[in-house]
Structure 1
Amino acid sequence: MGEVRKLQKKLRQIENLEIKISLSPEERIKISRKAELRSRLAELQLQLSGPQQTRGTVGDGKKEKMKRQVEEAPGALPSQTPPASKMPKGEERPRAQTTPSPAARPAAETGRGREKPPPAEVSGKAEFASLKASWEKSRFRLRLLEGHNDIVTCVAAVDNLVVSGSRDTTVKVWHVPTATEQKNLGGHTGGVTCLSAPPPEYCKRLARSLDLSDKERFILSGSADCYVKIWALNIGQCVKSIYTFNAVTALCFVPEGDGYIVTGSDGGKVQAWSWHTFDNCQSINAHREAVTSIQSQGPLAFSGSAEGGVSVWENRCSDRDPLRLLHHWSGQVTGCGGGPGGRLTLSPRGDRVFLAYGQAWLKILHWRTGTTSRLTNHSSIAGVTDCVHQPGGLLIGSCYDLANGESSLNLFSLPQCRYLASLTWPDAPRILCFAAWATGSGDHRWVTGGRGLIVWEQLPSSGKQRGDVTVKSDSRLDSCTLESEEETEDDEETDDYEDDDDVDVNNGEADGRCEGAEAAGLGAWLRCVLQ
């Protein structure tokens, strides 16, 4: 298991090198070893899995197919009873139905000694089964939006427009129905790291103060050049620039009172800015490492950092110091992090915050009490979760397999967090960011960014059009449930180890840092490439 973890770390480091803007000859040599390391990792996983291989494990195709057929056949358990021709004389074949098996017993015990489940429980199970079946039959049309010449780091949806930010320093506006680039907003001198769209009522206030149309919509962009820029989408111009003195790594708009922009920096600082005057209202040294995610929920704002800490802020609608810290939970409490340079993304819902931090599972933090639980998001320990999102009653986690480079989206129902289905397609790129909205008919429209910018449009359930997405069900995720931290004491994987010659891709650098920055963890691109 130790070598597996080393290989996983090396593959993570190589993935981070691949998304750098420029590569040195030494880095190109390291990247050239990715296929070799993946092959070795797959071999080790095969050895560890032994005879109990399941889907997704490399092995002999015909044998695996036969094995899956046996595993998936209901009730097809290996028989321990010899054939009738080999039964010793005088012995009778045991009766299989004499005593129900533990799995079958609850179904049989409906009348005696067991109460019938309440109607609400039956209704809930039927509703979930129907929802799961509908997603397993769902279809999506994919459209690639081509225009950026570097990694897409952030996306947002505004009406029928998609807005994307990239390390190429541009913000682009796309018209979704025609999948065409509408605006190219150039003005940042560093990579764009984050976007946020203010609600329409706050856009109207700003539009009136600028003598623009009431229908004007705005988008906020943050960049490594230390600027937050406010763009008017219809006219395609920057109407305001805010210099923050620090590289901006996260931001969100808090729609309370006159409105506030909350930003996070690469040094761990959280700042609040007035939407009315654009003055700095507050600066707080909130985290030890870079702030990698900020999200709002009503008057609350949630910030997550590279070291795995999460802070919860209340907006007091004040001209000075509007943010009041309600709770702060360190990486030791959240179970996230794993060293400086990591990347934590979060998505709040009520009293829970869903956390993605580059492992094969999602963490769920109950932010009022500090208790945590875990939700499996990948059937292999080589899985990586880069982002998490909640469109409507769904929880969606991105999934990337370090061992084979496959990417997908996993869907869970809310609030129970029960697995529904996985969506993927051939040569799917790694997904680093996600945005969603609904069409007029109630169908889903999503946009994913990372190595590619892709719009997902849900197709009607009836019709002859064929979808581009493959919908599959991972039986190992299907059987997973929420686990408390007490049940998963050994879950946390750490990348802290000494390199050895077998898997060295850092030319003997024991700390595994990329040039000039710390790169332990999946989010090193926030610190070592946006320069």
Structure 2
Amino acid sequence: MGGSSSALKVCTDHQGGINWLSLSPDGQWLLTGSEDGTARLWSTADSQCRGHFQGHESYITFCHLENEAAFTCSADHTIRKWDVMTGQCLAVYRGHTSIVNRILVSKDYLFSGSYDRTARCWSVDKEKPIQEFRGHRNCVLTLALYSSKDLLEDSEGEESEEEKLSKDFLVTGSTDCTVKVWWVSSGRCHQTLLGHTGAILCLILDAPNRELFSGSTDYTIRTWNIVTGEQLRVIKEHQGAIICLEVSERGGSFQGTRA
């Protein structure tokens, strides 16, 4: 690449900093969550704002976009679901008692992590939590989800929603320096992964290889066996906090990004 570059498109309608971006699965829309307490939907074709989601009473910390619905969480302790086409708020999920840092949407379920030291599981179609994960000694910053069936060969036959949920595990990373693995069906802590000496800022799973990667303010990336909880590797080359991880399909490698 040359020594200089210029922006291809600029989206400038927010009145505050942008805390998160989420691209729709089809790549046609971009959702932004801002310090101004609103989310906006942009067309990736022409950079025009096509949706403005207002209702949160404080800044938005994270957002997630699907093709027909958008989800936002906020320092106002709530999560909201929005209709992408109309901008109408479809649901408000209340229950956390502090800032909601992160959400994760998986089919009919919504997971959230908060400064109140808990994570929660919600039914997307309902506005009450169906499970609470309590055990961290400080705020929950990041989430990941996997199913035990992803680690095994596909089983035959149809399963009920209850049977599917019983095989799901939620992984949480916290400023208490630990990673915890929880049974989604019961809310019980299955494993606590110890080793980091700083806050856990990011998690990513490599289910085919049964590995979990965690990045921290202790400048390290750690690799764990997701089945046994054994720490496999510690990567120490970064000179700053690890804020983002991405797994590559090429040989099962991964990339880390530091602050």
> TM-score interval w.r.t. the shorter chain?
0.7 to 0.9
Q: What does residue 348 of structure 1 align with?
A: 145
Is the contact between residue 218 and residue 231 of structure 1 (CA under 8 Å) also seen in structure 2? Answer: yes
Task: Give 1:418 shift.
Answer: 3.3
The one-letter amino acid paired with 2:23 is: A
**TM score, norm. by length of structure 2:** 0.76
Q: Distance in 1 between matches of 2:47 and 2:206?
A: 28
2:70 is equivalent to residue 253 of structure 1: no
2:99 is equivalent to residue 281 of structure 1: no
Task: Give 1:281 shift.
Answer: 0.9
2:209 is equivalent to residue 409 of structure 1: no
For residues 442-499 of structure 1, the C-alpha deviation after alignment (integer angstroms, 9 at most, x for no partner) is 66464635x2xxxxxxxxxxxxxxxxxxxxxxxxxxxxxxxxxxxxxxxxxxxxxxxx
For residues 14-46 of structure 1, the C-alpha deviation after alignment (integer angstroms, 9 at most, x for no partner) is xxxxxxxxxxxxxxxxxxxxxxxxxxxxxxxxx
Q: Which has the larger radius of gyration?
A: 1
Is the contact between residue 216 and residue 243 of structure 2 (CA under 8 Å) also seen in structure 1? Answer: no
For residues 254-287 of structure 1, the C-alpha deviation after alignment (integer angstroms, 9 at most, x for no partner) is 56xxx32122121211211112322111223221
Q: Distance in 1 between matches of 2:76 and 2:202?
A: 22
Task: Give 1:232 shift.
Answer: 2.7
Corresponding residue to 1:198 among 17, 21, 24: 24
Is the contact between residue 300 and residue 312 of structure 1 (CA under 8 Å) also seen in structure 2? Answer: yes
Q: Distance in 2 between matches of 1:415 and 1:197?
A: 31
Q: What does residue 400 of structure 1 align with?
A: 217
> Which structure 1 residue ranges, 5 or more long, are not aligned?
1-146, 148-178, 204-216, 316-321, 402-406, 452-531
Corresponding residue to 2:134 among 298, 309, 334: 334
Q: Structure 2 vs 1, CA of residues 182 and 419 (structure 1 numbering), >3 Å: closer, same or farther?
A: farther
Is the contact between residue 377 and residue 397 of structure 1 (CA under 8 Å) also seen in structure 2? Answer: no
Give the total of aligned pairs: 232
Task: Give 1:389 shift.
Answer: 1.9
2:81 is equivalent to residue 265 of structure 1: no
- Considering Cα pairs closer than 8 Å and 6+ residues apart, tell me whether 1 or 2 has the greater RCO: 1
Q: Distance in 2 between matches of 1:418 and 1:181?
A: 44
2:194 is equivalent to residue 376 of structure 1: yes
More helix by share: 1
Q: Distance in 1 between matches of 2:140 and 2:220?
A: 19
Q: Distance in 1 between matches of 2:7 and 2:117?
A: 36
For residues 343-385 of structure 1, the C-alpha deviation after alignment (integer angstroms, 9 at most, x for no partner) is 522112232111111123211121211211301132xxx4332
**TM score, norm. by length of structure 1:** 0.40
For residues 221-273 of structure 1, the C-alpha deviation after alignment (integer angstroms, 9 at most, x for no partner) is 11120111122334334332222332212222356xxx321221212112111
Is the contact between residue 182 and residue 188 of structure 2 (CA under 8 Å) also seen in structure 1? Answer: yes
Is the contact between residue 308 and residue 344 of structure 1 (CA under 8 Å) also seen in structure 2? Answer: no
Q: What does residue 205 of structure 2 align with?
A: 390
Task: Give 1:309 shift.
Answer: 2.0
Q: Distance in 2 between matches of 1:398 and 1:194?
A: 18
2:19 is equivalent to residue 219 of structure 1: no
Q: Kindly, what percent of the aligned residue pairs are identical?
A: 19
Is the contact between residue 137 and residue 176 of structure 2 (CA under 8 Å) also seen in structure 1? Answer: no
2:103 is equivalent to residue 300 of structure 1: no
Q: Structure 2 vs 1, CA of residues 445 and 432 (structure 1 numbering), >3 Å: closer, same or farther?
A: closer
Q: Distance in 2 between matches of 1:220 and 1:415?
A: 35
Give the 5 Å matches for 1:455-474: none
For residues 140-169 of structure 1, the C-alpha deviation after alignment (integer angstroms, 9 at most, x for no partner) is xxxxxxx9xxxxxxxxxxxxxxxxxxxxxx
Q: Distance in 1 between matches of 2:30 and 2:228?
A: 33
More strand by share: 2
SS of residue in 2 equivalent to 1:310: strand
Corresponding residue to 2:120 among 311, 316, 334: 311
RMSD: 2.8
Is the contact between residue 214 and residue 222 of structure 2 (CA under 8 Å) also seen in structure 1? Answer: yes
Is the contact between residue 199 and residue 216 of structure 2 (CA under 8 Å) also seen in structure 1? Answer: yes
Task: Give 1:334 shift.
Answer: 2.1
